[in-house]
Structure 1
Amino acid sequence: MKCTLAERLTGHHTRPMETRTALVTGAAQGLGQEFAVALAGRGYRVAGLDLVPQPETAGKVLDYLELVGDVTDEEQVRAGLERVIDQFGALHVVVNNAGVYPAKPFEETTAEDWRRVMRVNLEAPFLVTQAALPYLKAAGWGRIVNIASAAVFTAPPAMVPYVASKTGLIGFTRALAAALGPYDITVNAIAPSMVRTATAERTVGADGGFEFIRDRQAVQRTQEPSDLVSTLLYVVDEGSAFLTGQTLNVSGGSAFL
């Protein structure tokens, strides 16, 4: 049963919050960790899938399942989803957050650079979503959230493979929303600006990347992981059932759609 408006406003839900489960990829640090903690704060049991162990995230989430695996490996992804169901019994939300964004001039980009970006940023969401889909259908409703990028709209010249992969992810979001609507499963994308994370500090921070982006935003500060939390919680809310196939541009006004 779905919640009535009165039940949503008063917090009295017909489906107890503790029965909900979310999977977040790239949950070891940064934006993925912020999402995992925020979802746990809303009563979700959370599974995090990352290449590395996630002790910091696990220490911040009461009911957390740590999955160490490669999001680009179909067998590892399916095995991880099976563990989620074994432990929690259901799955309702998938957040495809894992991504890579090497900055390199196009002329210096190798075919392997291109393939790696496409595997992590575009193929992995396909693999994770396809493996999760039977469980979302079994739950009777679902939310799939793909983390895209405002770079799709601003097109930084040193990130051609990244922009191409995230543009593909937005197309994936739209087409998948049309395919899964009949199952009460919504699919949306969130497009952040350059978020201050440890990875971003290492890759672009030293070269003044944060300042470059900040100066081109209407909101003149660097985006933090916490700036995306309210949007994620809005998109995954059961009351957001009519929001699907959309890309929410949460980038401080670096681009206007």
Structure 2
Amino acid sequence: MMEHELDFHGKTMLVTGSGRNIGRAIVLEFAARGANVVINARDTDADRVEAEAVRTEAEKYGVGALVVLGDAGDRETVQRLKTESEQRFGRVDMYVSNAMHRMYRESFFDTTDEDWHYYLNQQLTASWYLAKAFVPGMQTGGWGRIIHMNGPNAWTGSWAAIPIASSKAGLHTLTKSLASGLGQYGITVNDINPGFVDVVRDSGLDDNTALRTRAAGSMAIKRVITPEEVAWTCAYLCSARSGAVTGTIINIDGGPQAAH
């Protein structure tokens, strides 16, 4: 019964920032479960190659796959996502706001106004644009699933990344606010908080074995988290049985290390 309720044939999933890593894993998870998928990545040569590769992989499952390039923090990009998705698939039933930011490590004293606005736009404003674009269609259809990819520094704060932590905190408030009003239309809105996930990072941290080892040692499971584990949680949150789960946070952080 559970596997049947994780079948998404006839539905469309959109994932921003899905040319690699967590976003790619989510696209392929849903394609494997029968959903048509909309892939989004920034409009650079490298990002285009990655996005097209994800489309090729998704299409192997016999589903429709569409690539729309552009920054998800740009209103025009989100409008193109809406227009092209609806032209191809009718409407978007589910989306994951996942577009990632570049690595940032600056104290308050070194953080500029440009940094502040860039990171709030990348995470918080991008998610607002997506909601304004796709919620009306979900409301009309009487069903929808929205997932915001968040992070633990929304609660802990971060002296070395104040704009990012602030945008994530605002994002959770957006999640709760949307959930409180959209539940009556069969639409759920939730946050996923990944811990240290084994991904390719532009900063080169993907090659840092010591960092992986240190991260794994801080978790109860004693290993880093895979993108596929995050993707499966997205599938659960989009399933029929998750209809009462809304306005909440699912932590995929490997659990805390036991005190000794």
TM-score range normalised by the length of the shorter chain? 0.7 to 0.9
Equivalent position of 2:24 in the other structure = 33
Q: Distance in 2 between matches of 1:198 and 1:156?
A: 22
| CA distance 1:56–1:12, change in 2 (3 Å) | closer
For residues 31-180 of structure 1, the aligned pairs below 5 Å read 31-51=22-42, 52-53=47-48, 54-62=51-59, 63-106=64-107, 107-180=109-182
Letter in 2 for 1:40: A
Cα offset, 1:115, TM superposition: 1.4
Cα offset, 1:10, TM superposition: 7.7
Paired residue secondary structure (1:99): coil
- Superposed CA deviations along residues 23-50 of structure 1, whole A, max 9, x for unmatched, are 1000111100000000111110000122
Q: Distance in 2 between matches of 1:163 and 1:203?
A: 20
Cα offset, 1:95, TM superposition: 0.6
Q: Distance in 2 between matches of 1:181 and 1:110?
A: 38
Cα offset, 1:143, TM superposition: 0.2
Residue pair 2:27, 2:58 contacting (<8 A) in 1 also: yes
Paired residue secondary structure (1:104): coil
| CA distance 1:205–1:246, change in 2 (3 Å) | farther
Cα offset, 1:181, TM superposition: 1.1
**How many positions carry a matched residue from both structures?**
247
Residue pair 1:103, 1:203 contacting (<8 A) in 2 also: no
Unmatched tracts of structure 2, length 5 or more: none
Report the TM-score, using the length of structure 2 for normalisation. 0.86
Letter in 2 for 1:134: P
| CA distance 1:254–1:155, change in 2 (3 Å) | farther
Q: Percent identity?
A: 27
Paired residue secondary structure (2:67): strand
Paired residue secondary structure (2:174): helix
Unmatched tracts of structure 1, length 5 or more: 1-7
Residue pair 1:149, 1:166 contacting (<8 A) in 2 also: yes
Q: Distance in 2 between matches of 1:87 and 1:249?
A: 34
Q: Distance in 2 between matches of 1:43 and 1:243?
A: 23
**Runs of 4+ off more than 6 Å:** none
Q: Distance in 1 between matches of 2:217 and 2:5?
A: 44
- Superposed CA deviations along residues 43-71 of structure 1, whole A, max 9, x for unmatched, are 10000122132122112101210011221
Q: Which moved more, 1:226-235 or 1:203-212?
A: 203-212
Letter in 1 for 2:72: V
| CA distance 1:155–1:218, change in 2 (3 Å) | farther
Paired residue secondary structure (2:19): coil
Q: Distance in 2 between matches of 1:194 and 1:125?
A: 22
Q: Distance in 2 between matches of 1:146 and 1:99?
A: 11
Paired residue secondary structure (2:247): coil
Residue pair 1:151, 1:193 contacting (<8 A) in 2 also: no
Equivalent position of 2:12 in the other structure = 21
Equivalent position of 2:196 in the other structure = 194
Q: Distance in 2 between matches of 1:35 and 1:18?
A: 15
Report the TM-score, using the length of structure 1 for normalisation. 0.87
Q: Which moved more, 1:212-221 or 1:136-145?
A: 212-221
- Superposed CA deviations along residues 88-120 of structure 1, whole A, max 9, x for unmatched, are 112210110112152313132222112111110
Cα offset, 1:255, TM superposition: 8.8
CA RMSD after TM alignment: 2.4
Structure 1 position 236 matched with structure 2 position 243:
no
